[in-house]
Amino acid sequence: MARTLVRSGAVDCVLVIGFEQMSPGSIKSVWSDRPSPMGLSTQMMEDTRGKHDSPRNAQYFANAGREYMEKYGARAEDFAEIARISHEHSQRNPYAQFRQKYSLEEITNSPMIHAPITKLQCSPTSDGAGAAVIVSQRFLDSKPQLKSQAILMAGQSLMTDSPALYSGSAMDLVGFDMTKRAVEAAYKEAGIGPKDVSVCEVHDCFSANELILLEGLGFCEQGKAHEMVRRGDITYGGKGPIVNPSGGLISKGHPLGATGLAQANNRLVDADVALQHNLGLGGAVVINVYKRADGQKNRKLSDEEILRTSAFKYNPATEARHVTAEDADKVRSRTSRSEYALGDTLEKIQARL
């Protein structure tokens, strides 16, 4: 929406914020006075895969993984390997909810949630927030000091489910069809193809979803995603894009309203093109293709170099710190402050921290 407003010329600068505080345990509906928007999808899942007592969201994505296994010969260990890689990646992300490395055996032997998905292959419930500033070229031209930090949203697509949702395919039930359509549109607008993507953040709420998305996003031929995983193509040193260098939703956390914005932060050196994939069941998917706005190559920057161009007194790519009252004061309006509107917000934040 922010990008659309900027491109239309209605505004030059938009602050986008996403946040979430989640209840413990698996996601449940809190509305008892209306039909569930997932009602037909759940009925389709139960008609085709049976009714089970395990968490419903886990069933959706585990069933998609099962379908991929049945069609193409993937094994349960392939999903576990995806989780192992994500947990290993998370060690480089100071803001990840979990930063622990696990062996393949530890992931495989963790409690089974809904086969083939074990606990360490599931995203946790999370509290979190994300923010991004979306600006026009006109705005950027007026502030040339920002150009080296600007990221171009080179391609974007939002798609919703088609009638394929009710095809009987467990993969289409979790967004495989709409992902394929959306990424084709985003690639076309950006003038690139899947082989141009160096780094990718995908919606890996469960490891099974990441595996089928490797094919859905065009990173491999049909039915070959598990082979990509076995070759190590989705991590550092592999032949494919590095997938979820943040640790993904599995490790970084999945605060629903903040997830999409949080995915826009990439931690890869030498990336010319980055891709972001986010989806929600019932159902929509958003694809973003990113490039550097100045056309330059990425290079690794020292903490000292970051400090020279940042308002922070530390490098947020390598260190996590709480926001201080001083930090908050720097971004408050200088001309239109309202202490009444601010209330006791700062005191509450400090108390929680």
The pLDDT tens digits for 211-220 are 999 999 999 9
Alpha-carbon distance of 268 to 300, in angstroms, equals 9
Give the CATH number for residue 242: 3.40.47.10
* Neighbouring C-alpha atoms within 13 Å toward the C-beta of 303: 8
Tokens at residue 22, please?
């989640």
Strands 242-243 and 199-201: what pairing? parallel
pLDDT of res. 216: 97
- Structural domain of residue 119, as residue ranges? 2-25+40-303
pLDDT of res. 310: 77
- φ, ψ of residue 339 to 5 degrees: the values are -65, -30
Alpha-carbon distance of 264 to 312, in angstroms, equals 19
Alpha-carbon distance of 307 to 165, in angstroms, equals 48
pLDDT of res. 350: 81
Other Cβ atoms within 10 Å of 93 Cβ, number: 22
Q: Of all helices (H) and strands (E), which one includes residue 215?
A: helix 207-216
10-residue mean pLDDT profile of the chain (353 residues): values are 96 96 84 87 96 95 98 98 97 93 98 97 94 96 90 96 94 97 98 96 97 97 97 95 95 93 76 93 94 84 84 83 82 89 86 79
pLDDT of res. 266: 62
| C-alpha Rg value of the chain to the nearest Å | 21
> Do the domain assignments include residue 308?
no
Alpha-carbon distance of 87 to 245, in angstroms, equals 10
Overall number of domains in the chain: 1
Tokens at residue 96, please?
């990840």
> Do the domain assignments include residue 324?
no
> Do the domain assignments include residue 343?
no
Tokens at residue 120, please?
């360490």
> Which residue type sits at 227?
E
pLDDT of res. 313: 82
The pLDDT tens digits for 250-301 are 999 999 999 999 888 766 667 889 999 999 998 999 999 999 888 887 888 8
Q: How far from 73 is each of 48, 84, 170, CA to CA, in Å?
A: 20, 20, 16
